Amino acid sequence: MTRRYSRRDFIGLALSAAAFPWLACKRSAERVVNFFNWSLYISPKTLPRFTERTGIKVNYEEIADDEEMFAKLRAGVGGYDVVVASDYMIPRMRELGLIDPYPAGALKNLRHIDPKFRATPYDPDNSYTVPYMWGTTGIGYNRGKVKSPPQSWWALWDESYRGKISMLDNARDNIATALLLKGYPETTTDPKAFADISEMLSRQRPLVKQYSSGTYIDNLITGEISLAMSWSGDVLQAARENPQLDYVIPKEGSYLWVDNLLLVRGGPNREEALQLIDFLLEPEVNAEITSFVRYASPNASARKLLDPGLLSDPRVFPPASVMKRLRIHALLPPETTQLWNQTWSDIKLG
């Protein structure tokens, strides 16, 4: 059985540079770049190869979720150069001046990005974002722990799985999915809609063992939970350790999202940051990352290098019939985002 990397193992394998505190790095003559990314969202081989080629050491810090990343940047926690963020976060970060635009012509490997992932609603002029990976939100499950493979989101409300269900720990996925199931548009602020979904999610709460955007995967592997609202690649990575794990996009539909590489406003190592991002865009490098993380690549040249089995896996690259059921998250104004966050907080507090 292939061993799934733990957070500690991953850091040790990928980041020899991480042994040096950022402050100490600043005192030395070493070239460094400070990279803020999701857990297990890069191949363990990638950053050591970057350091070997360029001499630039990478300090790598993991993000638990978008809100943690946003809070740190907004609070002025300094030192970050490159951050990965979900598509729907970009307008808010741009409006608050948390990110810088890319210098024109700075990335020679940007040409490898599929045009479908450029000129997006969240960055229409292609100034602030470089697509990194994309994926979907669905249900991860342990085939040995379920009566039958789930086909509907409502499986996460099935009383027979009480204490065996995990939900992602963020407002965006939970409230968007609840609105979808109740037939409301994602942009609604209708009090009736929010009363309906609050009742629905509160009714589910006694069935849920945990709200988690990270540790749920370990519990899915061990069988401590049977079903989980999941991100696609997380489950497919974990299936290396437990082949009983599988992933499905429910019949009601779900969401497709794109994670992006961003330049943090005033990052102290801009030249090194651009070198790192351009390296991550190299087709061979990006293909290696995709093969490890099991998320889909927006890099058209990298896709040509992928194993045919991965490229044809509908859980990674959904076919047209499934793509029709996928939506892109709406861009919400600040007051609606606040409504979502307050609603989610109230539900979790009971």
CA-nearest of 322, 340, 318, 295 to 197 is 340
Instruction: Report the C-alpha gap between 187 and 182 in whole angstroms.
Output: 13
Residue 143 is given by DSSP the state G
pLDDT of residue 65: 83
CA dihedral 144, 232, 69, 226 (to 10 degrees): -20
347-350 CB contacts, 8 Å cutoff, 24+ apart: 347/174, 347/198, 347/201, 347/202, 347/205, 348/205, 348/211, 350/202, 350/205
Sign of the dihedral defined by the CA atoms of residues 204, 210, 212, 214, in that order? negative
* Domains of the chain by start residue, with CATH: 7-134+258-321 (3.40.190.10), 136-255+323-349 (3.40.190.10)
Structure tokens at 136: 């979907």
- Residues (pLDDT < 70) of the chain are 1-28
Instruction: Report the C-alpha gap between 178 and 42 in whole angstroms.
Output: 31
pLDDT of residue 19: 37
pLDDT of residue 63: 86
Query: pTM score > 0.85 for this model?
Result: yes
